[in-house]
């Protein structure tokens, strides 16, 4: 009984007293804003980079576009995202004081490199015969892509893309480095306010977990929907 009371006192202090839950909620808001903006930007950049990279496919020789895409992917994957964030905040976008915007752009550019590989792999996984059949009927390359290859590639792309979004949500936990009050940072600050590390940190972890669990379920539903044409 006493143990329960003690636990409850901690929970009360960490989340309910003085409406502290609002602080976590605001933190979660920052986390989700950055993650969603970055995901949208990442998909746009990633798709563009994927097609730039694919421009080299037919003859095997690299093109100017595919070279640029490769350099971009190399740089992004070859450096830690914390450093990318610090460089953007203190150097490249120094004059921009909107932390959420800077973080969104940074993570969007970062995620774009990974999305590019996901999109490219998804397109390449569609059997070459599908393209050949389309072209042999007189459809041009764009029509074949649009009506035949991309709808099939989308099914390949969706699961790893969902995974990428999940990684992105958790990766935003480093925005505290540029003084953004996201979920991780506010719960970390709360530990020193309360002299209790356990409750706020476990609480924040639970919030991340629930958000991602919900997302996983939604993605699973969407995936099953898309697979319908495979089985009847």
Partner 1 sequence: MIIIKELHKKFGGNHVLRGVNYHIHPGEKIVVVGPSGSGKSTFLRCLNLLERPTGGEIWFDGQNITAPKADINEIRRHMGMVFQHFNLFNNLTILQNITLAPVKLKLMGEEEAKESAMKLLQRVGLSEKADAYPASLSGGQKQRIAIVRSLAMNPKVMLFDEPTSALDPEMVGEVLEVMKELAESGMTMVVVTHEMGFAREVGTKVVFMDEGNIMEENDPREFFNNPKCPRLQEFLSKVL
Candidates 7-15, 17-25, 93-101, 138-146: pick the segment binding partner 1 (CB under 8 A).
138-146
CA distances from 193 to 20, 49, 55, 200, 232 (A): 11, 45, 55, 10, 59
Candidates 43-51, 106-114, 133-141, 162-170: pick the segment binding partner 1 (CB under 8 A).
133-141
Tell me how far, at minimum, the Cβ of 115 lies from partner 1, in Å: 22
Nearest residue to 35 (alpha-carbon basis) of 113, 108, 117, 116? 108
| By CB under 8 A, residue 191 contacts partner 1 | no
| By CB under 8 A, residue 222 contacts partner 1 | no
Question: Cα separation of 83 and 115, whole Å?
Answer: 20
| By CB under 8 A, residue 230 contacts partner 1 | yes
Question: 206, 230 in Cβ contact below 8 A?
Answer: no
CB nearer to partner 1: pick between 10 and 155: 155
From the list 108, 112, 134, 203, which residue makes contact with partner 1 (rule: CB under 8 A)?
134
Nearest residue to 226 (alpha-carbon basis) of 167, 162, 131? 162
CB nearer to partner 1: pick between 17 and 132: 132
Burial class (CB in 10 A: 0-12, 13-18, 19+), 30: buried
Tell me how far, at minimum, the Cβ of 126 lies from partner 1, in Å: 9
Residues near partner 1 (CB under 8 A) are 127, 129-130, 132-140, 143, 147-148, 151-152, 229-232
């Amino acid at each position: 009984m006493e143990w329960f009371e003690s636990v409850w006192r901690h929970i009360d202090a960490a989340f309910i007293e003085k409406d502290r839950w609002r602080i976590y909620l605001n933190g979660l808001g920052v986390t989700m804003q950055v993650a969603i903006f970055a995901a949208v930007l990442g998909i746009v950049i990633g798709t563009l980079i994927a097609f730039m990279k694919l421009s080299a496919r037919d003859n095997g020789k690299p093109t100017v576009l595919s070279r640029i895409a490769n350099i971009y992917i190399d740089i992004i994957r070859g450096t830690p995202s914390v450093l990318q964030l610090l460089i953007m905040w203190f150097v490249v976008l120094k004059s921009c004081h909107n932390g959420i915007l800077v973080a969104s752009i940074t993570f969007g550019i970062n995620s774009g490199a990974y999305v590019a590989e996901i999109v490219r792999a998804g397109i390449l996984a569609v059997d070459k015969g599908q393209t050949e059949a389309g072209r042999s009927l007189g459809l041009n390359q764009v029509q074949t892509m649009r009506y035949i290859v991309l709808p099939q590639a989308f099914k390949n792309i969706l699961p790893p893309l969902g995974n990428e979004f999940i990684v992105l949500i958790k990766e935003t936990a480093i925005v505290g480095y540029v003084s953004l009050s996201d979920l991780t940072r506010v719960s970390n600050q709360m530990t020193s306010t309360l002299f209790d590390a356990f409750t706020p940190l476990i609480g924040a972890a639970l919030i991340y977990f629930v958000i991602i669990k919900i997302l996983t379920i939604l993605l699973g539903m969407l995936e099953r929907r898309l697979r319908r044409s495979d089985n009847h």
